[in-house]
């Protein structure tokens, strides 16, 4: 039985050991060059936002598309040594669908930001997503105020946009529109208020 270390000094794991842990654990586990990161358990709002985002994407995709939206438990391989588990992911590659264990060609990744993971999601993990050529859009969603960030690949680099409760955003790689209010459907999460300083 392989166990994750509890002391500060990190143990190095082989990819085969990671796979054994992943297949025999109910935890979400990510792998990064020999280190394993256990994703913190999601609270009710985190789970609901993920489900709402998945539903909005799935509804927007419709029936006549090869693209599929998946939630929570799909394993995305960014490189041979880096494996992550986004909250929601969309792939349009048939090789990623049906019984595929790994998704190798994600098109959109979604992270619901948590206090314990936000710093890593916004820095190291974001750079890893941007380095993956198949990823066209990265969506970051707050669970504390109604606020969504969309980072879109363009021919000249990356475009960054923010959206609030009354806004909708266009996912260019899917040619579809998502309403922010749908992401926070049935949730008592405050509407973000900003004051412009003259």
What pLDDT, in 10s, does the model give residues 121-171? 999 999 999 999 999 999 999 999 999 999 999 999 999 999 999 999 999
How would you write the chain as a 3-class SS string?
Answer: CCCCCCCCCCCCCCHHHHHHHHHCCCCCEEEECCEEEECCCCCHHHHHHHHHHHHHHHHHHCCCCCCEEEECCCEEEEECCEEECCCEEEECCHHHCCCCCEECCEEEEEEEECCCCHHHHHCHHHHHHHHCCCCCEEEEEECCCECEEEEEEECCEEEEEEECCCCEEEECCCCEEEEHHHHCCCCCCCECCCCCCC
Output the pLDDT for position 1: 46
Higher pLDDT, 8 or 64: 64
Q: Structure pTM?
A: 0.90
Stretch 29-39: mean pLDDT: 92
Q: What is the average per-residue pLDDT within 169-186?
A: 96
Query: Which tens digits make up the pLDDT trace of 42-51?
Result: 799 999 999 9
Residue 197 has pLDDT above 70, yes or no: no
């Amino acid at each position: 039985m392989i166990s994750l270390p509890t002391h500060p000094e990190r143990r190095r794991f082989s990819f085969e050991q990671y796979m054994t842990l992943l297949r025999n654990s109910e935890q979400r586990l990510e792998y990064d060059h020999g280190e394993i990161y256990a994703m913190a358990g999601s609270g009710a709002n985190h789970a609901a936002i993920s489900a709402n985002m998945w539903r909005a994407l799935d509804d927007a995709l419709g029936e006549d598309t090869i693209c599929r939206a998946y939630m929570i438990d799909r394993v995305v391989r960014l490189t041979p040594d880096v494996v992550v588990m986004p909250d929601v992911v969309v792939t349009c590659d048939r090789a990623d669908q049906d019984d595929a264990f790994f998704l190798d060609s994600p098109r959109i990744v979604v992270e619901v930001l948590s206090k314990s993971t936000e710093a890593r999601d916004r820095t190291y993990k974001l750079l890893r997503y941007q380095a993956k050529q198949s990823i066209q859009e990265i969506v970051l969603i707050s669970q504390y105020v109604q606020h969504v960030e969309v980072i879109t690949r363009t021919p000249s680099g990356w475009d960054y946009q923010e959206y609030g409760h009354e806004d909708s955003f266009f996912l260019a790689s899917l040619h579809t529109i998502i309403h922010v209010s749908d992401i926070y459907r049935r949730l008592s999460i405050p509407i973000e208020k900003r004051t412009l300083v003259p």
